[in-house]
């Protein structure tokens, strides 16, 4: 398969949208997923804010009471690019039937072991979005968080995630905006100065603007119905959701 066909289809020679160079980065960090002070410290810090948004949106779309013990009971959910399971486990605790999928086998090994230690039943698979779609898998909700900027063809990947979503279902995507501010925060700040992540984890030219992502989702038949920025406050040292500031991290919901 030529490079041009990879860009058109979103699939590499193995038939998936994964980028081998990007996989290698996360393969090297896999053992540190559940260390809150390790290389995934930024995600541990961001996770409560992501969870607040996801719980709110899925609850609103499916008429679920987030205050109930297991509000997502009866929903089938996919966490694609699940890593070590930082979001997958909370979704299972909320009652959803969860499939956690990642192309990095070491991530799945780490996630499976941690879930077993927590007494959680989660269907973890070392696979790709394309393989799941080809197998006819369908979900009420698809989560694709901090992954779209790492795939070979973001538009094709978003289209595959849309194909995995049942009619009436939702897809929630988070990524980094391509702005000077995001270069300063995600690369200079997080990688070069704070050294939370190895240098080269992010590539600024791969970042995606909200307008570009909304266009991809609309083209895939899942128009965006909500978007929020996720803003880090260096004084309070915490994250919060913002309706206005999408200049660095943001999260978006599409409905099928």
**Annotated binding residues for S-adenosyl-L-methionine:** 50, 81, 102, 145
Q: Which helix (DSSP H) or strand (DSSP E) does residue 216 occupy?
A: helix 210-219
Q: Cα separation of 120 and 9, whole Å?
A: 36
Q: Which residues contact 25 (CB under 8 A, 6 or more apart)?
A: 198, 200, 201
12/2 Cα distance (integer angstroms):
9
The order of strands in the sheet holding 76-80 is: 123-126, 97-102, 76-80, 139-145, 165-176, 249-255, 224-233, 238-242
User: What is the token pair recorded at 223?
Assistant: 């128009």
Residue 37 CA to residue 44 CA, distance in Å, equals 8
Helix (H) or strand (E) segment spanning residue 163 = helix 154-163
Contact predicate 100/111, CB 8 Å? yes
Measured N-to-C along each axis, helices 154-163 and 210-219 cross at an angle, to the nearest 10 degrees, of 50
């Amino acid at each position: 398969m030529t490079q041009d066909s990879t860009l058109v289809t979103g699939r590499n020679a193995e038939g998936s949208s994964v980028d081998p160079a990007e996989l290698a980065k996360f393969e090297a960090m896999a053992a540190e997923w559940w260390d809150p002070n390790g290389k995934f410290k930024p995600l541990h810090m961001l996770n409560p804010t992501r969870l607040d948004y996801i719980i709110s949106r899925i609850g609103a779309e499916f008429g679920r009471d987030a205050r109930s013990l297991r509000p997502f009971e009866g929903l089938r959910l996919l966490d694609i690019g699940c890593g070590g399971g930082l979001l997958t486990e909370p979704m299972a605790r909320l009652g959803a039937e969860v499939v956690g999928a990642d192309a990095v086998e070491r991530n799945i090994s780490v996630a499976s072991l941690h879930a077993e230690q927590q007494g959680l039943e989660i269907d973890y698979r070392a696979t790709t979005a394309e393989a799941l779609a080809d197998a006819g898998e369908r979900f009420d909700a698809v989560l694709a968080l901090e992954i779209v900027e790492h795939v070979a063809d973001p538009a094709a990947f978003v289209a595959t995630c849309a194909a995995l979503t049942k009619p009436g279902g939702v897809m929630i995507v988070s990524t980094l905006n391509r702005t000077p501010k995001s270069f300063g925060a995600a690369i200079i700040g997080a990688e070069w100065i704070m050294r939370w992540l190895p240098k080269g984890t992010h590539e600024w030219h791969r970042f995606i603007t909200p307008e570009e992502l909304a266009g991809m989702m609309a083209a895939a038949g899942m128009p965006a119905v909500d978007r929020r920025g996720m803003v880090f406050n260096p004084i309070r040292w915490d994250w919060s959701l913002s309706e206005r500031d999408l200049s660095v991290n943001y999260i978006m919901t599409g409905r099928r």
